[in-house]
Amino acid sequence: MHIKNIVAIGGGGFGRSLGSLEIEKYIISLVNKINPRICFIPTASGDNDLYKLNFYRAFSKLNCITSHIDFFSRTENLAEKVLTQDIIYVGGGNTKSMLAVWKEWNLHEILMNAYENGIVMSGVSAGAICWFDKGITDSYADKLEIIDCLGIVNGIACPHFDEEKERKPYVYEIIKKEIIKSCICIYGNSALHIKNDDEYIPINFGKGKKSCLRIINENNQLKEEFL
């Protein structure tokens, strides 16, 4: 039986600056290989070239065998590429557009197969919430929205919880109005490692910051539970 891992990063990591690569080292530690194969999927940023360059700089420093998948130039055999990796890393950007492209190419089913076969799933922002049933996204210019995601793990997730001022009041409002029952909120410079679907391990790679919490409505009172 394969151990299943998702590392959902609320904000930070190599996309902002290489730094000490602490969360990247954590992700690699989940694979028992000297030179793990890691594939970057930067769809949410429109396959941004600088983002890809930062990925190669970061993970080459960590002795990984690196590659990426493009969707806005000629696209290779996705199943063959994904299923030969040890780690998948999904970048941030427009979650809604990313998921639409993935669905057109059937990548969502390939990623589910990879997850079930023990390939580590990871990513930041859009690449964090995509694994859940639903996510809170700023894909729309003028508002936050709840969107359907891949449904690989249960729950609704919100990244950048302490980094973007509109996030907290929005989450409180939709829970108070019973639009959703609960939300997993991930802080910047923090991540949530989900092991075998339901074991939660909060990771703080900032300096003394909070990491992850679940907000629920309990008897008409909003309650924050740190994971």
Residues of the chain with pLDDT under 50: none
Q: How far, in whole angstroms, is CA 54 from its chain's centroid?
A: 17
What residues contact 130, with CB distance under 8 A and at least 6 apart? 90, 95, 98, 99, 123, 149, 150
Q: What pTM was computed for the model?
A: 0.96
Domain containing 9 equals 5-226
State the Cα–Cα distance between residues 96 and 117, nearest whole angstrom: 26
State the Cα–Cα distance between residues 47 and 52, nearest whole angstrom: 7
Residue 55: its pLDDT value, please?
97
Residue 221: its pLDDT value, please?
86
**Please, what is the end-to-end C-alpha distance for the chain in angstroms?**
26
- State residue 134 phi and psi, 5-degree precision: -145, 160
Residue 227: its pLDDT value, please?
87
In this structure, what CATH number is given to the domain that contains residue 183? 3.40.50.880
Please give the tally of structural domains in the chain. 1
**Active-site residue numbers?**
125, 160
Residue 208: its pLDDT value, please?
66
Give the pLDDT confidence of 144-172 residue by residue, as tens digits: 999 999 999 999 999 999 999 999 999 99
Positive or negative torsion for Cα 148, 47, 84, 24: negative
